[in-house]
Amino acid sequence: MSRSQFSYTRDQLATLARVVIDHAMRRGASAADTEISEGVGQSVSVRQGEIETIEYNKDKGAGVTVYLGQRRGHASTSDLSEAALKSAVEKALTIARYTAEDEAAGLPDAERLAKDVPDLDLYHPWDLSVEEAAERARACEAAALAVDKRLTNSEGAGVNLHTSQFVYANSLGFCNGYAGSRHGMSVAVIGEDKGGMQRDYWYTSARNANDLDPAETVGRIAGERTVRRLNGRKLDTRTCPVVFEAPIATGLIGNFVAAVSGSSLYRKSSFLLDSLGKPVFAPHVSIREAPFIRGGLGSAPFDSEGVACMDRDVVKDGVVAGYFLSSYSARKLGMTTTGNAGGSHNLLVSHGELDLDGLLKEMGTGLLVTELLGHGANMVTGDYSRGAAGFWVENGEIQYPVEEITIAGNLADMFRGIVAIGRDVERRGAKQVGSILIDRMTVAGN
């Protein structure tokens, strides 16, 4: 892929954004903003060595928000002609006229808007043909199936490419944007023996294709992870320590983000209401938001309303040091935006010196969880219950795979009960955390 595959230049998108803002203001809006974007993607999947799907997408769209005082209206269009953009403005104005006033509605405070927009090295197009993508996918799948003769089938391997660009503008004079990319490769295989069938997978993801793991490495890991799950057993119900493997430990951090995000807080639908300045995690846990990491998957110079992002502590020595707020949620709470309209950015979780094997030795006897099923986290109460699979550990060593169990606890207790976090940091996403050892959870089985 190359920049030429975009239909518009950045300047052209900026010109269209100004058309939207100017028309809205001429038609009586007291304020307005718009985001205009386009994206290009290619996905190739292979199964049993044969190409299964080839998908190509090219999307574009614009969202328009207008304000009539404290009344808000929003409309969108996938047609970027001037006539269609102006029509979207008219529809948004019509909606605003019939909308109730909301004292928190409005653009962000002008002084919060990003003044300097650094280049964070987020855009790396990948010029990869369908044939080349299929060849990589075949190599990935073949490497997985070659791990063990008990690997008898495949759910397929895939290679995907995606690039996008956008411009955000508002009537306070802000108009800026940038391009980004994200590419990946994945494979899932099936193993079978007298104990039944098991599956597992692995993937790699990065903004720059040069940072992806080799196809053979991804395949080998997927194969090894599937083989080790064969002959899984059930457990009797018990209470024991639990290690969340790094790729799924990111979900616990996601639960925390959801609980201290503005919409949950002002709706009073969070178990962490009024937690600012209070200990929530074990004292050795800190979380830092670092939006300016060059090439980071969660990096951004400003949020979705143009507010400058901040490098800041979210949790310091176990104590909540900051929420995740947009301008709207901040006003609802009587606080100040944290530059998180659209979500959190790179979250870096502190860790110790132990790797995963070290954490298992630290745990002694307990459960290593490598897969979670279902969505069993209640953000209002903190109650947590998920289907799980993994491995039973004794004397710090994996004994056998386990399946068809449920792990349960309360997120507040789980956060406080973090014994250690490993240095095996998961870096394939915006939440970077190692495996997490929790002192005790209920494991429900037979």
Digit-coded pLDDT (tens) for 227-237 = 999 999 999 99
Q: Binning pLDDT at 50, 70 and 90, where does residue 376 land?
A: confident
Same domain, 173 and 240: no
Domain boundary among 174, 200, 227: 227
pLDDT of residue 387: 96
Q: What rounded mean pLDDT belongs to the chain?
A: 96
Same domain, 177 and 325: no
The stretch 90-106 carries a mean pLDDT of 97
Same domain, 210 and 240: no
pLDDT of residue 277: 97
> Does residue 283 register a pLDDT over 80?
yes
> Does residue 364 register a pLDDT over 90?
yes
pLDDT of residue 49: 96
> Which positions ≥6 away from 388 have C-beta within 8 Å?
367, 369, 371, 372, 373, 405, 406, 407
Same domain, 250 and 199: no
The stretch 79-104 carries a mean pLDDT of 97
Same domain, 197 and 294: no
Same domain, 36 and 143: yes
State the residue range of the domain holding 144: 3-227
Q: Binning pLDDT at 50, 70 and 90, where does residue 1 land?
A: very low
Give the residue carrying structure tokens 């979670």: 372
Same domain, 239 and 208: no
What whole-number distance in Å separates Cα of residue 335 and Cα of residue 322?
Answer: 11
> Does residue 4 register a pLDDT over 80?
no
What whole-number distance in Å separates Cα of residue 363 and Cα of residue 128?
Answer: 45
197-210 tens-digit pLDDT: 999 999 999 999 99
State how many domains the chain has.
2
Same domain, 196 and 267: no
Same domain, 210 and 327: no
Domain boundary among 193, 227, 261: 227
What whole-number distance in Å separates Cα of residue 412 and Cα of residue 34?
Answer: 39
Q: Binning pLDDT at 50, 70 and 90, where does residue 194 land?
A: confident
pLDDT of residue 104: 96
The stretch 168-194 carries a mean pLDDT of 97
pTM of the model: 0.94
Determine how β-strand 366-373 pairs with β-strand 238-244. parallel
**In this structure, are residues 392 and 235 in contact, taking their beta carbons and an 8 Å threshold?**
yes
C-alpha distances (whole Å) from 134 to each of 150, 151, 182, 353 are 25, 21, 18, 40
What whole-number distance in Å separates Cα of residue 421 and Cα of residue 282?
Answer: 11
pLDDT of residue 24: 98
The stretch 213-217 carries a mean pLDDT of 98
Domain boundary among 191, 210, 227: 227
pLDDT of residue 424: 97
What whole-number distance in Å separates Cα of residue 307 and Cα of residue 327?
Answer: 9
pLDDT of residue 298: 97
Residue ranges with strand state E in 326-426: 347-349, 366-373, 383-394, 397-410, 418-421
> The CATH number of the domain where 173 resides is what?
3.30.2290.10
> Which positions ≥6 away from 358 have C-beta within 8 Å?
422
- Whole-number percent of the chain with pLDDT over 90: 97
Q: Binning pLDDT at 50, 70 and 90, where does residue 196 land?
A: confident
The stretch 402-421 carries a mean pLDDT of 97
Same domain, 238 and 218: no
Same domain, 223 and 239: no
Same domain, 163 and 115: yes
The stretch 298-318 carries a mean pLDDT of 97
3-state secondary structure of 243: strand
> Does residue 246 register a pLDDT over 70?
yes
